[in-house]
Chains A and B, each alone.
Chain A
Amino acid sequence: MRSISLKGFSRLRRLSVLLSLSALACCAHDAVLAFHVEPPLLCPNQTVAITWKVRGRAQLKANPTPPGWKEDVPSDGGLPAVTVGQDTTFTILAPDANQARGSSFASQEARVTAQTDNRAVQAMCDASGTCSGTLTIDADKSVRVKRMANPTWRSGFKVADHEVCVTPPSGSRTCLAPNTSAALDLPASGVWKFDMKLAQTELGDPPPELRVFFDFGCK
């Protein structure tokens, strides 16, 4: 049976020095340092701007891959106008990095607006039974919310119909009854506020989510 060397253990002081050195040396390892895909929500065939900074060699992947796409890219670079026809995930890689250290790759998605999305707000409820919260949509200015529909609330992972009121970034508060919809045609980008009033039999603990379906469209 082997045993642990006492001689090795007596070197703990040098070990701690090495650990300190390793902390300093961390910054010399290949890694993704910065990555941005803007805007994350846009209309079909608009363009996104992609910027990145990688320590070491860099690759930029796209899924689905546009025609003529070149994965090998400079370590510090950008593509100012990549046309996106469908939802596309961009991934920046530091291919020579030790993946076990982390920051060897990162992914961001550009979504186009050809879909209806169920959008949820993490709400908090006050003593009066009013529950409210916000979400922030980062989108190209041409992206619009054309319609809102079918409000629900979720408490403890149970989803139920409920009236929810919505205040758009630029517009007035609109209350949606269960299983109803409202036409809007307002810019999507900005902070949206959802609120609802708890019925006497409803509990605000755990804090609920308020949900409304958004139909996105383009100007």
Chain B
Amino acid sequence: MITLQQLQGLVDTIVVVMMENRSFDHMLGFLSHEAFDGRPDIDGLRLPTKDFDLSNPDSAGRLFAPTATPDGYLPTDVPHSRTEVATELRGGAMDGFITTYQASQSLDKSPVPMRFNRPDDIPITASLARNYTVCDHWFASVPADTQPNRMMALSGETLIDSTPGSLTLFKAEHTLLDWLASKKLDFKIYVDARSILDVGPPSNLLLMPSQWGHVLAHAEPLDGLAEPWKSDAPAPKFMYCEPFYNDFATVLGQHGNCNHPPLPVGYGEDFLRRVYETLTSNPKKWARTVLIVCYDEHGGFFDHVAPPHMTYAPPPGNKWTQQVPFATLGVRIPGIVVSSLVAAGSSSHLLFDHTAILQLVVDRFGTPADLGFFGQALARKTNRTNPVQSLGSTLTLSAPRNDILTGLVSPVVHTGAATTPPISELGMLFRQVLAAKPAKRP
């Protein structure tokens, strides 16, 4: 591990890609699986033996093992609300994923939560995992769904404990963007769309009025990154690279690439490839960049590691639906640190949650006292039982590697019998409204 002083001298830019709704075992379990990479250093999936079995039962007691399944659209979303995550975890038994899925809907009875991805179906993720550092003890911040976890990633606290079912604006205070702005540190939000309004709420920023000013001032289309990145102009200190979120994409009659079920992950793989290739297009800047690829939460997919205990009580001013503390972290998520400052094919078993991102940014651009700006981030770092580490602790090389992955090829998404139609009538209407001139006010 490099020192704090080295970190501050070696890194100019931190980039965060936070995808949607996949567990560690679902995306990276193949790394340890005997049928694939068989790596002993990764706490992932294994074949069953007489005295070891990761299977989950359904309500009839039938057992379903984690199964490598070709990528494709899923029948439906996989349950992952606060209440549903609790039944999936079943007090740490980690065997309630099938029963929760089947209880959440009556149409599909296939063992969707036990699917895991073959490396050939996720060539970009697999390449990054094999050539950089895999974090196999990175847990979602709370055992709940998207918005609470994204709030924790952004500000170290969450004033909601579940994602509302309808479009709802959130209150957000002391976010990473607020801190960066207060420190006059240059940052950008790159969205994989022609405009911010085409991508919907990125990192939930559009749902938080307090963040709208940052979005207006700092959001740009992802394909606008390539030109300035290749130039000698100074790079931003911090960047979000945002996929096209599926809930919004479907309003337009399209598909997203954020990996949220029922999407296949192939579209997300292409997004990751473009981000990686853009960032590595300038080797000089890439040598001083840390790219974090992670997921907001597990999305209802099986993972075999019980989240550690860590209490998080409703903060002041909260709008939680259940005024009961979270007792554990959320389910493990895939986390990969992609940087010239990590060893190829390495792994980190340190405890991370999303506040580890805040720690890394503060380690690089702030002082230790700055961590107190962010809700629970400091408390988690100093937790006496399970201290959450800074992602800076994954950086181990005091001189950057100069190798860059080339020839990455995105997978072809097989849509099966059904197809994704071109833009819908509603999507056309949406675009017409956006294209129209604003109405004059009297």
Q: A2-B224, A18-B429, A93-B417 are in contact. Are A120 and B61 (CB under 8 A)?
A: yes
B310 touches A (CB below 8 Å): no
What total of chain A residues lie within 8 Å of the partner, measured CB to CB? 71
Interchain CB contact (< 8 A) of A4 among B63, B195, B250: B195
In the assembled complex, the CB of A26 is this many whole angstroms from the nearest CB of chain B, namely 9
Interchain CB contact (< 8 A) of B91 among A10, A20, A89, A205: A205
In the assembled complex, the CB of B246 is this many whole angstroms from the nearest CB of chain A, namely 6
Stretch at the interface among B12-20, B255-263, B312-320, B383-391: B255-263
Interface of B, helix, strand, loop or mixed by DSSP: loop
In the assembled complex, the CB of B29 is this many whole angstroms from the nearest CB of chain A, namely 13
Stretch at the interface among A75-83, A102-110, A173-181: A102-110
In the assembled complex, the CB of B378 is this many whole angstroms from the nearest CB of chain A, namely 30
Interchain CB contact (< 8 A) of B60 among A19, A138, A156, A157: A138
Asked if A11 contacts B417 (CB within 8 A), the reply is no
B69 touches A (CB below 8 Å): no
**Which chain B residues numbered 241 to 266 have a C-beta less than 8 Å away from chain A?**
246, 249-251, 253-256, 261-263
Q: A11-B433, A100-B250, A160-B51 are in contact. Are A106 and B75 (CB under 8 A)?
A: yes
A49 touches B (CB below 8 Å): no
Q: A100-B256, A209-B95 are in contact. Are A157 and B304 (CB under 8 A)?
A: yes
A65 touches B (CB below 8 Å): no
B166 touches A (CB below 8 Å): yes
Q: A8-B197, A122-B90, A136-B60 are in contact. Are A14 and B306 (CB under 8 A)?
A: no
In the assembled complex, the CB of A144 is this many whole angstroms from the nearest CB of chain B, namely 15
In the assembled complex, the CB of B234 is this many whole angstroms from the nearest CB of chain A, namely 14
In the assembled complex, the CB of B368 is this many whole angstroms from the nearest CB of chain A, namely 35
A207 touches B (CB below 8 Å): yes
Contact partners of B73 in chain A: CB under 8 A: 99-100, 104-105
Chain A, residues 51-69, CB within 8 Å of chain B (1/0): the string is: 0000000010100000000
Of A9, A105, A135, A158, most buried by chain B (CB within 10 Å of CB) is A105
B227 touches A (CB below 8 Å): yes
In the docked arrangement, what's the CA distance between A104 and B196, Å? 28
What total of chain B residues lie within 8 Å of the partner, measured CB to CB? 72
Interchain CB contact (< 8 A) of B418 among A15, A25, A97: A97
B93 touches A (CB below 8 Å): yes
Asked if B109 contacts A108 (CB within 8 A), the reply is yes
Asked if A119 contacts B61 (CB within 8 A), the reply is yes
CB nearest neighbor in B for A108:
B109
B77 touches A (CB below 8 Å): yes
Asked if A4 contacts B216 (CB within 8 A), the reply is yes
Chain A, residues 107-123, CB within 8 Å of chain B (1/0): the string is: 11100000001111110
In the docked arrangement, what's the CA distance between A209 and B195, Å? 51
A94 touches B (CB below 8 Å): yes
Q: A99-B415, A108-B109, A137-B61 are in contact. Are A206 and B306 (CB under 8 A)?
A: yes
In the docked arrangement, what's the CA distance between A4 and B221, Å? 8
Contact partners of A209 in chain B: CB under 8 A: 57, 93, 95
Chain A, residues 86-103, CB within 8 Å of chain B (1/0): the string is: 000100011111111111
Asked if A107 contacts B109 (CB within 8 A), the reply is yes
Asked if B253 contacts A159 (CB within 8 A), the reply is no
In the assembled complex, the CB of B104 is this many whole angstroms from the nearest CB of chain A, namely 12
Chain B, residues 45-57, CB within 8 Å of chain A (1/0): the string is: 0000011111101
Chain A, residues 1-44, CB within 8 Å of chain B (1/0): the string is: 11111111111101110111111010000001011100011000
Q: A103-B107, A206-B93, A208-B93 are in contact. Are A135 and B57 (CB under 8 A)?
A: yes
Asked if A9 contacts B220 (CB within 8 A), the reply is no
Asked if A11 contacts B438 (CB within 8 A), the reply is yes
Asked if B421 contacts A96 (CB within 8 A), the reply is yes
Asked if B418 contacts A105 (CB within 8 A), the reply is yes
Asked if A192 contacts B167 (CB within 8 A), the reply is no
**Which chain B residues numbered 7 to 64 have a C-beta less than 8 Å away from chain A?**
50-55, 57, 59-63
Asked if A21 contacts B110 (CB within 8 A), the reply is no
Interchain CB contact (< 8 A) of A98 among B91, B108, B197, B420: B420
CB nearest neighbor in A for B246:
A100
Q: A100-B250, A104-B73, A209-B93 are in contact. Are A8 and B195 (CB under 8 A)?
A: yes
A154 touches B (CB below 8 Å): yes
Asked if B61 contacts A121 (CB within 8 A), the reply is yes
CB nearest neighbor in B for A8:
B197
Q: A2-B221, A103-B75, A206-B92 are in contact. Are A98 and B424 (CB under 8 A)?
A: yes
Of B60, B212, B415, B421, most buried by chain A (CB within 10 Å of CB) is B60
B426 touches A (CB below 8 Å): yes
In the assembled complex, the CB of A31 is this many whole angstroms from the nearest CB of chain B, namely 9
Asked if B417 contacts A122 (CB within 8 A), the reply is no
List 16 additional A-B contacts (Cβ < 8 Å) besides A98-B420, A101-B250, A104-B262.
Answer: A1-B227, A2-B221, A4-B221, A9-B212, A11-B433, A14-B433, A32-B107, A94-B418, A95-B418, A102-B74, A104-B75, A122-B57, A136-B60, A157-B94, A158-B51, A211-B63
Instruction: Show 25 A/B contacts (Cβ-Cβ < 8 Å), sorted by A.
Output: A1-B228, A2-B220, A2-B224, A4-B195, A8-B196, A9-B197, A9-B212, A11-B438, A12-B206, A19-B251, A20-B167, A23-B166, A93-B418, A95-B419, A98-B255, A99-B255, A99-B419, A100-B420, A104-B75, A106-B75, A119-B60, A122-B99, A159-B53, A209-B57, A211-B63
Closest CB pairs A-B (n = 8) = A119-B61, A135-B61, A206-B92, A100-B255, A106-B107, A106-B108, A120-B57, A99-B73
